[in-house]
Amino acid sequence: MNPIVEDIKLKIDIVDIIAEHVELKRAGQNYKGLCPFHSEKTPSFMVSPSKQIFHCFGCNKGGDIFSFLMSSEGMTFQEAVSYLAQRAGINLEVRSQTGSPKNRRFFGTEMTEVKSGIKEGLFAIYKESLIFFHNNLKFSKQTISYLNERGLNHETIEKFSLGYSKNERDSLFNHLKSKGFTVEHIKASGLVNPVRKEAPSKLSNGVNSSGLSNGVNSNEHGIYDFFRDRLMFPIFDLQGRVVAFGGRIMSPLKNAPKYINSPDSIIFKKGDLTYGLNIAKNSIAQKGYAIIAEGYMDVIMCHQYGIANAVAPLGTALTPGHLKKIKRFSDKVLLVFDGDAAGTAAAKRSLELVYACGIAAKILPMPSGEDPDSLLKKHGEGYFRRYMSTALTPVEFMLRISNKSKLDAVRHMLNAILKCPDNLLKDETIRQLAEKSKINEAALREEFIAIRQKALKPDSNKQKPVNSILNPILNISRDEKILLSAAICAPEKSHLISTSINPEIIENPLVRGILEKVKTIAGASIIETGIETGIETGIETGIENRVFIENLLAICSSDEQNLITMLSINPEIDTEFADENIEGCLRALTLKNIEKQIKSATETGDIKLLKSLLIKKKNITGHIKGRSLAKN
Ligand SMILES: [Zn+2]
C-alpha cells in the first residue's frame, strides 16, 4: 500500500470520521447508525473499528475511510487522501518529494499535486478574501449607512462577518496576489472573471454591476473582480470555513442583478449549503427545530433578535441537500413563506420534499408584504414569537389554502407523504387529515394504499440504482460466500484457498476477481514475512487481518469492496469449523461444476469426456457419503 495511505490509516480512526456524518452507537464489537447512503428508519449501517471498514446491510454499500469520504463528500481519491493527510498532520509535499519513485508517480506529478492542493488553496483564498472584504467595510460610508438603515447593529455585522467589495476593477485580485496566491489558484476560486474577448458586452452576472463605463477593462492578466460595489455576505460551511459569498449591489445599475452568489466550486454547492447553519446548529439542536426563512437578511435579523435557530437556502428553492444537513441537528422545521401566491405555491411544493426527508414541518405564512426582517423591526421579538406560534401543520395549511376543494387538498397531502420514510409521521399525518377534513380515516387509508400502489408501478424502474448495488451480491451462492469469508476473515487460510482453488468452479465474477486479488496479497505477505513462518505466525492477529483487508480493499473495485466489507463484518463462516466449512464448500462447488460439464458433454456427445467426468463425480459423492456415514 502507498505509505501515505498507510500512515493515514494508522493515525486516523474511521469511527471518528464517520461519526462526524452519522450518529453512531456501540453494537458489540462494532458501531451502528442510520445509513447516509440510503434512507432508512432502523440502523443497518455498521462501522468496524477493528477492521477500519464500514458496511450498510440495507443498501450493501461498503468500504474504507477513503471510499466513505469519496461517496459522502463527493471527493476524489486524491482529495480524500489530502484531506485526511492534513487532519493527521502528514505533510504531503515533503512526502511526495522523498517518496519512492512509485509514490512520486502517485502524488508527485504536477497535475495531481495541483488538484489535491486546490481545495486547501481555495479555503485559504476565501479566508483571505473574507478578511479583505470585512476591512473594506470600515471605509464604505454608503454601505455602513445602508446597514444602519436596515437596523443591523455592530455585533451582528461582526457575527456574520459582513463586508464590502470595492467598486474597482481588480482590488481583490491584486490583494490576493500580494498575499502570495498564484494567478491560477485565484482564477480557480471564481472570485475573479477572465474577460471573454469575443463578447465583452455579454459578460455574465456581476460584470455589469461595476461602475466602470463601457463594460470592464481587464488588467494585464485579462482578469477583473467578480464582486464589485457589493455588500458581501460570506457563506460558511458547517466547519465554519468560508466557501462562497453572496453580494448585494450597493448602487443599483441597469441590468445588474440585485443579489449574486459566487459560482459553485469543489468547496461550494449552492443546493447543499444553508445560510447561517454554522451559527444556528447548536440552537437548532437545543430548540428542537430549525426556522427556514427565505433571505440572508431574515436570518441575520432573527439572530439579532435572539432567534438563533434561523437559516435560509441560498437564493434557491429548498433542496434535499439543505434538509439533510439540517436533519443532523433536528428533524423538525418551521418553514417561513411570503403570504402571497408565489410564497404559497413554494410552500406547497416544499411539502413533498420535507416529508421525503422524514422531517416534520410547520408552515408560517407571513402577513402580506412582510417578512421576518420587517416584522421583527416593526414589532419586536415578543410579537414575532407569538406570531410563530400560529404556524400551521401541513394538513391545516393545505386545507386552508384550498378551502374550495377539500378533496384536492386531501389528495395533495396523501401524495406528499408517499415517500416519507418515517411511518409514525406518515400515520400521524393521515390521522390528522381525517380529523381536520372530517373524512373517514379508513377511507383515507384505503385511498392512500391505492395511490401508493399506483405510484409504485412506474417507479419500479427507478429502484434500480439500489438494486444494482444489491444484485451482484445477492446472486452469490452460499458456498461461494463461505469460501470468500474464509479467505478474508481467516487470512491464515487465504493463501491456501486462493492458490488451491480452480477458478472455474467459482461462478460469480465478483468472487472470482476477489480471490484472484487475495492470491496476490496473501502471496506477497508470505514473501515479506518469510515462507516458512508466514502462514503460522505472520497473519494471525487482528491487526494483521486489518492490514490484510486494507491492502485488499485498496486494489478492489467498488462492487468488490461492497462484498468484502459485508463478509468482513458479517462472516458467513463458523470459524470453529472453518476447515470443515471450506472443505464442504469446495466439494459442493466442484460437484456443481462437474455436473455442468456433464450436461454439456451429454449434449455434444463426447463419450470419453463424459466417462471421466462421471468417475470424478463418483469419487466426490462417494467421499461425501463416506463422511456423513462416519459422522453417524
Ligand atoms: Zn445503506
pLDDT, tens digit, 9 for 90 and up, residues 336-360: 998 888 888 888 889 989 999 999 9
Paired with 275 in beta bridges are: 312
Residue 445 has pLDDT above 60, yes or no: yes
Distance 298 CA to ligand 1 centre (A): 36
Amino acid 99: pLDDT? 38
Residue the block writes with cell 455602513: 144
Distance 60 CA to ligand 1 centre (A): 6
Residue 493 has pLDDT above 80, yes or no: no
Q: Say if residue 494 is in the same domain as residue 449.
A: no
Q: Say if residue 572 is in the same domain as residue 522.
A: yes
Region 416-422 average pLDDT: 88
Q: Say if residue 382 is in the same domain as residue 351.
A: yes
Q: Say if residue 18 is in the same domain as residue 129.
A: no
Amino acid 461: pLDDT? 42
Phi/psi at 242 (5° precision)? -75, 130
Distance, CA of 180 to CA of 232 (rounded, Å): 23
Listed residues 54, 75, 108: the one ending a domain: 108
Residue 73 has pLDDT above 90, yes or no: no
CA-wise closest residue to 232 among 182, 282, 171: 171
Distance 44 CA to ligand 1 centre (A): 7
- Least confident span in 73-77, 489-493, 559-563: 489-493
Q: Say if residue 513 is in the same domain as residue 427.
A: no
Amino acid 107: pLDDT? 36
Q: What is the pLDDT of residues 535-578, one digit of tens each?
A: 333 334 456 677 788 888 888 888 889 999 999 888 887 767 77
Distance 59 CA to ligand 1 centre (A): 4
Distance 45 CA to ligand 1 centre (A): 6
Distance 362 CA to ligand 1 centre (A): 29
Amino acid 336: pLDDT? 95
Q: Which residue would you say has higher pLDDT here, 93 or 493? A: 493
Alpha helices in 389-420 (DSSP H): 394-401, 406-416
| β-bridge pairing 259-261 and 163-165 | unpaired
User: Are the C-beta atoms of 44 and 561 separated by less than 8 Å?
Assistant: no
Distance, CA of 410 to CA of 416 (rounded, Å): 10
Distance, CA of 5 to CA of 62 (rounded, Å): 18
Distance 578 CA to ligand 1 centre (A): 29
Q: What is the CATH number for 375? A: 3.40.1360.10
Amino acid 428: pLDDT? 93
Q: Say if residue 595 is in the same domain as residue 541.
A: yes
Residue 209 has pLDDT above 50, yes or no: no
The helix or strand, by DSSP H or E, that contains position 54, with its residue range, turns out to be strand 53-56
In a domain, 471, yes or no: no
Amino acid 523: pLDDT? 67
Q: What is the CATH number for 163? A: 3.90.980.10
Q: Say if residue 102 is in the same domain as residue 131.
A: no
Distance 525 CA to ligand 1 centre (A): 33
Other beta carbons less than 10 A from residue 553's beta carbon: 25
DSSP assignment of 194-258 equals E--TT-GGG--GGGGGSS-SSS----TTSEEES--SEEEEEEE-TTS-EEEEEEEESS--TT--S
Distance 42 CA to ligand 1 centre (A): 11
Distance 56 CA to ligand 1 centre (A): 5
User: Are the C-beta atoms of 297 and 289 separated by less than 8 Å?
Assistant: no
Q: Say if residue 136 is in the same domain as residue 101.
A: no
Q: In which domain, by residue range, is 303 found? A: 270-391
Helix axes 277-287, 320-327, angle to 10 degrees: 60
Distance 34 CA to ligand 1 centre (A): 8
Q: Say if residue 283 is in the same domain as residue 249.
A: no
Distance 262 CA to ligand 1 centre (A): 33
Distance 54 CA to ligand 1 centre (A): 10
Q: Name the region of 371 (left: φ>0; alpha: ψ -120 to 50; beta: rest).
A: beta
Region 462-489 average pLDDT: 69
Amino acid 542: pLDDT? 59
Helix axes 478-489, 509-529, angle to 10 degrees: 20
In a domain, 523, yes or no: yes
CA angle 22, 27, 32 (to 5 degrees): 20
In a domain, 298, yes or no: yes
Distance 130 CA to ligand 1 centre (A): 38
Distance 464 CA to ligand 1 centre (A): 14
Region 324-334 average pLDDT: 91
Amino acid 430: pLDDT? 94
- Least confident span in 211-220, 237-246, 374-383, 512-521: 211-220
pLDDT band at 217 (very low <50, low <70, confident <90, very high): low
Distance 33 CA to ligand 1 centre (A): 10
Residues of the chain above pLDDT 70, percent: 83
Residue 93 half-sphere exposure, CB side, CA atoms within 13 Å?
4
Amino acid 66: pLDDT? 92
In a domain, 469, yes or no: no
Phi/psi at 23 (5° precision)? -75, 115
Amino acid 287: pLDDT? 92
Amino acid 471: pLDDT? 57
Region 19-35 average pLDDT: 90
Q: Say if residue 17 is in the same domain as residue 38.
A: yes
Amino acid 93: pLDDT? 61
Q: What is the pLDDT of residues 574-614, one digit of tens each?
A: 767 777 888 888 888 888 888 888 888 888 888 888 899 98
Distance, CA of 388 to CA of 310 (rounded, Å): 12
Distance 51 CA to ligand 1 centre (A): 19
Amino acid 553: pLDDT? 87
Q: Say if residue 102 is in the same domain as residue 123.
A: no
In a domain, 283, yes or no: yes
Q: Say if residue 353 is in the same domain as residue 423.
A: no
Phi/psi at 333 (5° precision)? -135, 155
Q: What is the CATH number for 68? A: 3.90.580.10
- Least confident span in 202-216, 275-289, 334-348, 612-626: 202-216
Helix axes 441-459, 423-437, angle to 10 degrees: 130
The helix or strand, by DSSP H or E, that contains position 120, with its residue range, turns out to be helix 110-137
Residue the block writes with cell 481587464: 218
Other beta carbons less than 10 A from residue 487's beta carbon: 28
Distance 437 CA to ligand 1 centre (A): 37
Residue 321 has pLDDT above 50, yes or no: yes
CA-wise closest residue to 584 among 533, 631, 531: 631
Region 300-327 average pLDDT: 90
In a domain, 470, yes or no: no
Q: What is the pLDDT of residues 80-95, one digit of tens each?
A: 888 898 888 887 764 4
Domain tally for the chain? Answer: 5
pTM for the whole thing? 0.56
In a domain, 468, yes or no: no
Amino acid 570: pLDDT? 84
Listed residues 391, 412, 444: the one ending a domain: 391
Q: What is the pLDDT of residues 515-535, one digit of tens each?
A: 888 887 776 654 444 333 333
CA-wise closest residue to 351 among 276, 401, 286: 401
DSSP assignment of 123-181 equals HHHHHHHHHHHHHHHTT-HHHHHHHHHTT--HHHHHHTT-EEE-SSSSHHHHHHHHTT-
User: Are the C-beta atoms of 204 and 261 separated by less than 8 Å?
Assistant: no
Distance 37 CA to ligand 1 centre (A): 5
Listed residues 86, 108, 130: the one ending a domain: 108
Distance, CA of 433 to CA of 322 (rounded, Å): 27
- Written as one letter, the residue type at 79 is E
In a domain, 607, yes or no: yes
